[in-house]
Amino acid sequence: MLTPDILAAAVVNGLTTGAVYALIAVGLTLVYGVLHIVNFAHGAILAAAMFAAYFAFQYGVDPYVALAPLAVVFFGLGYAAQRLVIGPASHGEDRNVLLVTLGLSIVIENLLLAAFSSDTRSINTTYGFATIRLGPLFVSLPKAIGFGVSCAVGMTLWALLNYTDIGKAIRAVAKERMGARLVGIDPPHVFAVTFGLSAACLAIAACVLLPVYYVDPRVGEAYVLIAFTIVVLGGMGSIAGAMVGGLLIGVVESLSGLLLGDSLGQLGIYLIFILVLLLRPRGLFGATA
Amino acid sequence: MRPYLSIVIVALALAALASLAHSNTLANSLVTATIIALAGYGWNLLGGYGGQYSFGHAAFFGAAAYVDAVAQARYGVNAYAAFVLATAAAALVGVVIGYLSFRAGLRGSYFALITLAFAEVMRVLANAAGITGGAAGTLIRLAPSPSHFQFVGRQPYLWIVLVLVTLAMIATRAVERSRFGAYLVAVRENEAAARALGVDALRVKLQAIVISAALTGLAGALYAQYFLFVDASIAFGPWISIEALAAPIVGGLGTVFGPLVGALALDGFGEAAHAVAGRTPGIELALYGALLVLVVAVARDGLQGLAVRFFAARRAGAA
Amino acid sequence: MTAPLLVLEGLTKRFGGLTAIDGVSLTLPCGGVTGIIGPNGAGKTTLFSLIAGSERANTGRVLFDGGDVTRLPANARAVRGIGRTFQITQPFAGMSVRENVAVGAYLRHARRNDALARAAEIAERVGLGGRLDAPAASLTVSARKRLEVARALATEPKLLLLDEILAGLNPSEVREFAPVVRALSAQGITVMMIEHVMHAVMNLCAHLYVLAEGRLIAQGPPAEVTRDPLVIESYLGKGAAARLARGGGHG
Ligand SMILES: Nc1ncnc2c1ncn2[C@@H]1O[C@H](COP(=O)(O)OP(=O)(O)O)[C@@H](O)[C@H]1O
Ligand SMILES: [Mg+2]
Which pLDDT tens digit goes with each residue over A47-95? 999 999 999 999 988 989 999 999 999 999 999 999 999 989 888 777 7
* pLDDT of A288: 41
Query: CB under 8 Å to C1, separation ≥6 — which residues?
Result: none
Instruction: Give me the helices (H) in A36-164, please.
Output: 42-58, 63-80, 87-90, 94-116, 141-163
Q: Which chain B positions have a beta carbon within 8 Å of C74's beta carbon? A: 192, 195-196
Name the pLDDT band for C236 (thresholds 50, 70, 90): low
CATH number, domain A4-279: 1.10.3470
A contact test, residue of B52, B57, B103, B109 with most A CBs within 10 A: B109
Share of chain B above pLDDT 90, in %: 63
Which DSSP string corresponds to A1-64?
Answer: ---HHHHHHHHHHHHHHHHHHHHHHHHHHHHHHHH----TTHHHHHHHHHHHHHHHHHTT--HH
Question: Residue B246's closest CA among B43, B32, B3?
Answer: B43
Q: Give the one of C83, C94, C103 whose C-beta lies nearest to B194's C-beta.
A: C103
CB contact at 8 A, B29 and B37 = no
Which of B212-216, B309-313, C12-16, C44-48 is predicted with the least confidence, judged by mean pLDDT? B309-313
Does residue C136 have a pLDDT over 80?
A: yes
Which pLDDT tens digit goes with each residue over C13-45? 999 889 999 999 999 999 999 999 999 999 999
With CB atoms and an 8 Å threshold, state whether A98 touches B110: no
CA distance C199 to B224: 71
Residue B47: alpha-carbon gap to chain centroid: 11
CB contact at 8 A, B234 and B228 = no
CA distance B272 to A238: 45
B104 touching A (Cβ < 8 Å): yes
Q: Which chain A positions have a beta carbon within 8 Å of B297's beta carbon? A: 88-90, 100
The A residues from 229 to 258 touching B (CB cutoff 8 Å) are: 232
Q: Give the one of B117, B277, B281 whose C-beta lies nearest to A270's C-beta.
A: B117
CA distance A231 to A240: 10
- Span C96-101, mean pLDDT? 96
Instruction: Report in angstroms the alpha-carbon separations of A250 from A89, A151, A200, B110.
Output: 36, 14, 22, 22
The alpha-carbon gap from A196 to the nearest alpha carbon of chain B, in Å, equals: 20
Report the run of H or E that residue B58 belongs to, with start and end.
helix B58-75
Name the pLDDT band for C163 (thresholds 50, 70, 90): very high
CA distance A223 to A210: 13
Name the pLDDT band for A281 (thresholds 50, 70, 90): low
Does residue B272 have a pLDDT over 90?
A: no
CA distance A41 to A36: 15
CA distance B108 to A246: 24
Q: What residue owns the CA closest to ligand 1's atom 4?
A: C15
* pLDDT of C133: 94
Return the number of CB contacts < 8 Å for B and C: 79
Cut 0.80: pTM above it: yes
* pLDDT of C249: 41
Q: What residue owns the CA closest to ligand 1's atom 3?
A: C15
The interface predicted TM-score of the complex, written ipTM, equals 0.90
Q: If you measure CA to CA, which chain B residue comes closest to C76? A: B198
* pLDDT of B255: 94
Instruction: Give me the helices (H) in chain C, please.
Output: 44-52, 74-80, 97-105, 112-125, 141-154, 171-186, 198-204, 222-225, 229-236, 240-246
C26 strand-pairing partners: C8
* pLDDT of C247: 56
* pLDDT of A138: 81
Which pLDDT tens digit goes with each residue over B186-196? 999 999 999 99
Which pLDDT tens digit goes with each residue over B30-78? 999 999 999 999 999 999 999 999 999 999 999 999 999 999 999 999 9
N-term to C-term CA, chain C: 44
Q: Residue B146: how many CB atoms within 10 A of its CB?
A: 11
Which of A59-63, B77-81, B305-309 is predicted with the least confidence, judged by mean pLDDT? B305-309
CA distance B256 to B175: 10
Q: Which chain C positions have a beta carbon within 8 Å of B193's beta carbon? A: 86, 90-92, 151
Ligand 1 pocket test target in C11, C12, C18 with most atoms within 8 Å of CB:
C18
B221 strand-pairing partners: none
Work out whether strand B138-139 and strand C67-68 pair parallel, antiparallel, or are unpaired. unpaired
CB contact at 8 A, A38 and A105 = no
Instruction: Report in angstroms the alpha-carbon separations of A187 from A28, A72, A164, A184, A267.
Output: 18, 21, 16, 9, 39
Domain positions in chain A are 4-279
Burial (0-12, 13-18, 19+ Cβ within 10 Å), C145: buried
Report the run of H or E that residue B258 belongs to, with start and end.
helix B258-277
CB contact at 8 A, B293 and A96 = no
A92 touching B (Cβ < 8 Å): no
| Domains of chain C, earliest start first | 1-81+190-251 (3.40.50.300)
**Residue bearing the bigger pLDDT, C220 or B317:** C220
Does residue A287 have a pLDDT over 60?
A: no
